[in-house]
Amino acid sequence: MNLTKDKKLWMYQKMCEIRNFELEVDRLFKANLIWGTCHLSVGEEASAVGSIAALEKDDMITSTHRGHGHCIAKGGKLPQMFAELLGKETGYCRGRGGSMHIADLTMGNLGANGIVGGGIPIATGAALASKLRNDGKVTLCFFGDGATNQGAFHEAVNFGAVKKLPVVYLCENNLYGMSVPFEKASAAKDVADRAAAYNIQGVIVDGNDVEAVYEVTKAAVERARQGQGPSIIEAKTYRWLGHSKSDPRVYRTREEEEAWKQKCPIKRYRQKLISEGVATEEELDQIEKSVEKAIQEALEYAKNSPEPKVEEIMEGVYA
């Protein structure tokens, strides 16, 4: 791997931003300051950051209903993200889209998607466009384990494989599709095994190890960029919280949750950076403090932003 100190500290900072953002969002929901629904990825920060760190700036991503981390890692702006969740005019979608529909085309983020597996055909289409234009871009497609039983997954991956498109399919397998354990929804033990059906490479990686995710994604991205077609990466990870804000998590034990919290990707990476002499505790403490400040400033921006005007309610509904 060719990871500089700056790149490693960037990855640590981004994981901290995602964690702090989502914990703040959780508090806002509990205070009834955010409405609708929301799907948090606390505990899954490494899979988002490690994979996106392997992209070039002009590369693209498609995201999921659990997509805050993907957006932040791709360069999403915290003030606009908070504003969108609070339904403010300054949000990414002017307060109309909410948590599941943030997009930032200027950063190559083609959007989160409330439909399970909905981003997979979009990513495949974006990769087809890149191949036709010969623009050298790669699209990284995020989805969860539940999406792998959708027809859209099989159709899109098959098409991508046949056409050798520059796309990387990354499954964040957090072990549960809503409340259904993956082992009860799939006869295959691993999502990566399904790659064999399309004659493409399938790789399993520890989704809580940010550098391991970076390494396998970097290899897959380079293969895609060189015209060797797609890959399926299965990042084994875990969401600490429920599927959505209304999920009491009665389908799994607190002991299981605690065991996974001991594998916290941020704590693991902090210890690794210190033990390898990459950074000091003081340096990492300073990053954490700067992130906390940025989160609070972004939230204040959102709270003080204007509400959408009622007379503009139909704007953006029709082309």
Active centre residues (catalytic): 239, 243, 251
Which H helix or E strand runs over 33? none
Which H helix or E strand runs over 42? none
Distance CA 18, CA 294 (A): 12
3-class DSSP assignment, residue 258: helix
Phi, psi of 108 (to 5 degrees): 80, 15
Neighbour count for residue 142 (Cβ, 10 Å): 28
Contact in structure between 157 and 234 (CB atoms under 8 Å) = no
- DSSP characters for 82-116? HHHHTT-TTSTTTTSS-GGG--BGGGTB----SST
Q: Which two tokens stand for residue 284?
A: 């990492």
Q: Which two tokens stand for residue 129?
A: 């466009």
Max CA pair span of the chain: 58
Write the burial class of residue 56 (CB in 10 Å: 0-12 exposed, 13-18 middle, 19+ buried).
Answer: exposed
Distance CA 56, CA 54 (A): 7
